[in-house]
Amino acid sequence: MYYRSMAIYFMSGIGNSFRAATWMMEIANKRDISSKLHQISRYYKKSDFAGESNDLLGMVFPTHGFTAPWRVIRYALRLPNGRGKHAFVVATRAGTRIASIPFPGLEGTAGYLIALILILKGYIVRGVMGIDMPSNWMSLHWGLNLQTPSLSLIELR
Ligand SMILES: Cc1cc2nc3c(=O)[nH]c(=O)nc-3n(C[C@H](O)[C@H](O)[C@H](O)COP(=O)(O)O)c2cc1C
C-alpha cells in the first residue's frame, strides 16, 4: 500500500516515545510520505482534528503499568471515526540489561488495547509493536547510567 501522508500522535515522558516517533518520521520522509507529529495533550479539542486528512495514523506512547497511559486511552477514544483509514500502534517499554543479559520490557496490553479501540472506531490496524527503550520506571529501580555495571542503558542504534 502506498501512503502519501501520515500523522503520528505521541505521548512521551522523558523523550523515548518522541524519539521513536521521529525515527518513523525520518523513514516516512525518505519514502516521500509527508508526516506530522502531534503531542497527545491533556486538553483535547475536536477542532484539533479538523482538516486532517492523512492516509495513515500512528499512535506512539510509553507503557505504564503493563498497559497504555490513561491519557492515551482517552485520546484514542475521542479520535474521529476511522472510516477504514490505516493505523499502527507502538508502545515503548523498559528494556534493560542485568549482568549484561538483555531483558525486554513488558508492554502487556498497552499496544493491543489501543489497537482494539482504533478497530472499534473503524480504523484498519496494520501493525502493533513494542520497542525497547531505556527505562524511566523510577519507582521500580534506581536511575540508569552508563557507569552502573549491572543495569546499563540499552544500546541504541
Ligand atoms: C509509571 C511508569 C510505569 C511503567 N510501566 C512499565 C511497564 O509496565 N512495562 C515496561 O516495560 N516499562 C514500563 N515503564 C517504562 C517506560 O514505558 C519506558 O521507559 C518508556 O520507553 C518511556 O517512554 P517515554 O520517555 O516516551 O515516556 C514505566 C514507566 C513509568 C514512569
pLDDT recorded at residue 149: 46
3-state helix/strand/coil string of 13-24: CCCHHHHHHHHH
Domain ranges of the chain: 5-40+54-134
Which residue's CA is minimally distant from atom 3 of ligand 1? 64
Distances, alpha carbon 126 to alpha carbons 28, 72, 106, 112, in Å: 16, 19, 21, 12
3-state helix/strand/coil string of 95-135: EEEECCEEECCCCCCHHHHHHHHHHHCCCEEEEEEEEEEEC
Q: Is the pTM of this model over 0.85?
A: yes
pLDDT averaged over every residue in the chain: 87
Q: Is the CB of 5 under 6 A from ligand 1?
A: no
d(CA 45, CA 146): 41
Cell of 101: 543479559
What share of the chain has pLDDT > 90, as a percent? 69
What pLDDT, in 10s, does the model give residues 48-89? 665 567 899 999 999 999 999 999 999 999 999 999 999 999
Q: How is 84-96 classified by DSSP, letter by letter?
A: T-EEEEEEEEEEE
- CATH code: domain 5-40+54-134 is 3.40.50.360
Which residue's CA is minimally distant from atom 27 of ligand 1? 13
63 or 99, which is more confident? 63
